[in-house]
Structure 1
């Protein structure tokens, strides 16, 4: 699309055609209604006072420089240390595009070499997985655009080129060796037309909805010697995560009937012999106790094969895992919560022995790894942290997952607001050391980050504050409050990518507050569940208390505070401007304005019942309580809405509904719809356009 490289764009202030202003801005469709004066033009005889083209100057050379700087970091997305702890692989973005796999000795990582099946071609190679004997590395490879994905196996010692093991016809992820090294396993959508999950752009609806065109993700295994591929989980179950039993004979997995993007919230835990039939050993919607009606993830067999541990909690997105740790007999039975009342959020687990697990946890905006007793005898007592990273960290497989070797070494990638991504290796109790140095020369062009903590209504709340670039305590600055998605999620420090985020606002002279209010991860399951049936109320009060806490410490101009967010953050933006006039401009990304109509529009309605307690048809009042549209006449804040036209999580009609109401009431608003985008934008021009529009919006309405 034609982007805003001229640094200025025209905001149409009232070109009305049957009450709807429609312009084309490059590729996005822009629906604009600006200024309360436009309300005078509601009748056919009226002449809108604002029916003139209004030019908003955003000629700021810093924007172009900043966007270019955000793209300079080489992305280090995955890493895996060999089981014997001697070698390490990682995936890094290639200088010519695509993704590349590097292999190096742990003792001397500067001696790295590329493993590739692509030769000189630009390709995408990733999901490197070590064989149990540390002798081989399997990986996915796509060497040319339009070419299908394939599995290759390379010798860790070098020499021979990687050999082609199997060609795939569809989408695949989560490549893993069986414990005996005889099979490779993966999650596979044969004949896929799109990546699995709700974040990707949905297929245009056609045919018999909910019946035709379903794409089911199954467990497939490939013989490591012959390359023979077969799908082992049934066609009637969409599998989200899985784990091998120690004897390599059985699988444990979380699955639900298709459509997969919708039914994860009602998924069951299954076990299955590799060539057998599945048996459901846990059904959260029907189980009694603290797990009832919640979500499950990260199933893990105990070393003796007698137990399966997993994480259970209130989770709003598959893949964004958080909750308590539960243990259940592998043959089935009642699950036991072994971490009740702890004020942390468990995101990933591994068995260390039959009596002890290791857990990666979110703790007040940081990542911590520590041990947990499998019998639950620790109660709410936390063991000492073996690894603490006040930043984003993980090996790229699951949320906060880590790669361990038998000698105690752990590998992960990490980044923060101050440090661009690199690969790190550590031993418990030691400081991590950097293995890669791709981004050593990059320095932030934004301000210093600080962890903020405050209390509100009995809750301990944490968030991250970015100071303005070149901060001068003698000056007063505007502030942007950016609310994260979820709501079951948390802001952890990370080097910014090309997506929408708070860092650009800091670089351009704003304070940026990124709170983790109730409903977030990091303070325990009670805190995460504290906004059930209460969306937009307690969490907004936590956010406003955070604004107060910042203003007590720093020179924030209270008349220039803006609000923004994406997904749940987009909902909070829409709802907050109906509840308070504390914010003077707002940008809502992929928001939700009417929970009642949303229930029938989105592709993932199953997620709502755990949060609202019932369907909209059984309890419409609880949905209306948190619907911005029911309070729309309170809005006086200029609000920009942006959304993708193929968003299944937060469909575009939700933004249309909010925009239409503000436009009809004569309030200052604008809606931009981006073609062929899902919930997460992939087109770099669209990402840039969103950022430039948001920056221009705040510059105009918070001068």
Structure 2
């Protein structure tokens, strides 16, 4: 039986990391924050190292590192020889010399006021000597926040990504080279916005540093792989025009991409400097990792009725399951999950998913239909097991609803052009309606029993929907946006939100473009009952976004429920809160079936 506890307590693997020699894969498990190691060839069963997160390997593949709140730990892959170093450790990277670890951490601050112009929370690049425990802080990148570090294979040079501040919405990333032996720094120029996933790879012309970032020159839209040949210094877009979206890079020039409802592994071709598909992966894949030579890989992956697991093997396949953290989910009868393909009003090809109640088929329709909109907007629904508080497809299907999970334009999986085709609340809204109308026409959905919901950008679209039409009988706005101008001013990604909303409000006397795109502007038209849920400590989409809509609905005497979860950020993490949210969600949408 599927219960709230079953959903919330299911253990899922996160961030697998393969050893450089390709023999082992370490991974975390959440909730619970434990670290495990398994043999890639399945001869060594999975073994729990203990409490911790963020596993990484020594260059010789002998040790796996992981961290707890105030310690860095190291243990042999086979077990034993545990050592620990005290001290707060955030981002870290063991180096090839086997006795140095790069640690990124801010300087201690004795100042109580937060002073915007002071760089007190900048992460500095530090070198931890494992033999003595001493920490050295080179006088480099002063006045800049160090975001990420990657070591050249074989050791020596470090690629370093920095930005002006620790603000997540910072628009000033730069790429550098740093030699920890000599202290020499070489500048590689400005990087594209939201740069990350730094990776070294070797081409015909020598060493390159590649990274994933927002496709230049914009600050919102699809991702690209940007590449810098050290002999040139130019940042080149290697994915221009491709109908897929890069997710992360790893050893050997390997890239994980989103490809429609599926995923795939691509490799950077040294001759053409373009991505070439190596292995298609059905469903959703996360966190591609590879051995030093790129011959062996591991990913976390989920399919329609299979929970997320770690898979590993040769890069050409097949990949074999190497974790089994939630076997209880295999006893559940899931609703049939169907891939959808249809065209928007302007002919653009769209895809999505349909989940039916367990044991039912299309011929048993029409059903009440709940449309769940993905976040982002640069997100997507892939053909995965959709079982989470912010993707409750199977949870609601078990209560008798059909669930529509559309991928309107603006999301990932179809290249940069798809991600930038249209305006928020306009073309993507029409794409949602086209899919809903198609399911009504096919006899799957009852037009008098429609609901809509989502989280983050999905919450925005739910709030937008009920201000545009009375067709929906229930809506869920989870951590959603009601006013783009206010979000640009108060959200941690202000510049990005201004790009989405079209303006900020401080350009002069309005009306402004963001007013036309903000659900709050249409609050007087809302008649649909709305469940508003939000984390009290959300810095991505601050609580004021929910409060604004709540006060507007109260003013217009619209039925709604406003739920705030204390201590929670943009993602709800506490067990009791997740259970409560699942129960409220199911109860709220049960009105579609008269209960």
TM-score normalised per structure 1: 0.76
Indicate yes or no: 2:268 matched with 1:392: no
Q: Give the structure 1 partner of residue 81 of structure 2.
A: 161
| C-alpha distance in structure 2 between counterparts of 1:576 and 1:266, whole Å | 35
1:376 to partner: Cα distance: 4.7
Q: Quick check: 177-186 or 639-648, which moved more?
A: 177-186
| C-alpha distance in structure 1 between counterparts of 2:550 and 2:90, whole Å | 39
Q: Does the Cα contact within 8 Å between 2:288 and 2:300 map onto a contact in 1?
A: no
Indicate yes or no: 2:463 matched with 1:574: yes
Indicate yes or no: 2:160 matched with 1:253: yes
| C-alpha distance in structure 1 between counterparts of 2:136 and 2:449, whole Å | 59
1:283 to partner: Cα distance: 2.6
Within-5 A mapping of 1:265-284: 265-274=171-180, 276=183, 280-283=187-190
Q: Give the structure 2 partner of residue 172 of structure 1.
A: 90
Q: Give the structure 2 partner of residue 46 of structure 1.
A: none
Indicate yes or no: 2:591 matched with 1:692: no
Change (3 A) 1:125 1:262: same
Indicate yes or no: 2:360 matched with 1:471: yes
| C-alpha distance in structure 1 between counterparts of 2:200 and 2:100, whole Å | 18
Q: Does the Cα contact within 8 Å between 1:70 and 1:496 map onto a contact in 2?
A: no
| C-alpha distance in structure 2 between counterparts of 1:215 and 1:498, whole Å | 33
1:524 to partner: Cα distance: 0.4
Q: Give the structure 2 partner of residue 132 of structure 1.
A: 59
Indicate yes or no: 2:257 matched with 1:344: no
Change (3 A) 1:657 1:611: closer
Q: Give the structure 1 partner of residue 225 of structure 2.
A: 325
Residue among 37, 41, 55 paired with 1:103:
37
- Aligned to 1:446, the other structure's residue is in SS state coil
Q: Give the structure 2 partner of residue 34 of structure 1.
A: none
Indicate yes or no: 2:23 matched with 1:86: yes
- Bigger relative contact order, structure 1 or 2 (CA pairs below 8 A, ≥6 apart): 1
Structure whose CA Rg is larger:
1
Q: Give the structure 1 partner of residue 208 of structure 2.
A: 307
Q: Kindly provide the CA deviation profile for residues 167-187 of structure 1, in whole angstroms up to 9, marking residues without a partner as x.
A: 123x513x4322343422344
Change (3 A) 1:178 1:564: same
Change (3 A) 1:573 1:278: farther
1:112 to partner: Cα distance: 4.0
Count of residue pairs brought into register by the alignment: 581
Change (3 A) 1:223 1:213: closer
1:277 to partner: Cα distance: 6.9
Q: Does the Cα contact within 8 Å between 1:327 and 1:374 map onto a contact in 2?
A: no
Q: Give the structure 2 partner of residue 55 of structure 1.
A: none
Within-5 A mapping of 1:507-656: 507-531=398-422, 534-612=423-501, 615-618=504-507, 621-656=512-547
Q: Quick check: 329-338 or 477-486, which moved more?
A: 329-338
1:609 to partner: Cα distance: 4.1
Q: Kindly provide the CA deviation profile for residues 258-277 of structure 1, in whole angstroms up to 9, marking residues without a partner as x.
A: 243332x4423333333637
| C-alpha distance in structure 1 between counterparts of 2:301 and 2:221, whole Å | 18
Indicate yes or no: 2:409 matched with 1:409: no
TM-score normalised per structure 2: 0.88
Change (3 A) 1:215 1:701: farther
| C-alpha distance in structure 1 between counterparts of 2:24 and 2:212, whole Å | 30
| C-alpha distance in structure 1 between counterparts of 2:61 and 2:20, whole Å | 6
Q: Does the Cα contact within 8 Å between 1:282 and 1:332 map onto a contact in 2?
A: no
Q: Quick check: 453-462 or 340-349, which moved more?
A: 453-462
Superposition RMSD in Å:
3.1
Q: Does the Cα contact within 8 Å between 1:79 and 1:403 map onto a contact in 2?
A: no
| C-alpha distance in structure 1 between counterparts of 2:528 and 2:99, whole Å | 61
| C-alpha distance in structure 1 between counterparts of 2:4 and 2:412, whole Å | 30
- Aligned to 1:468, the other structure's residue is in SS state coil
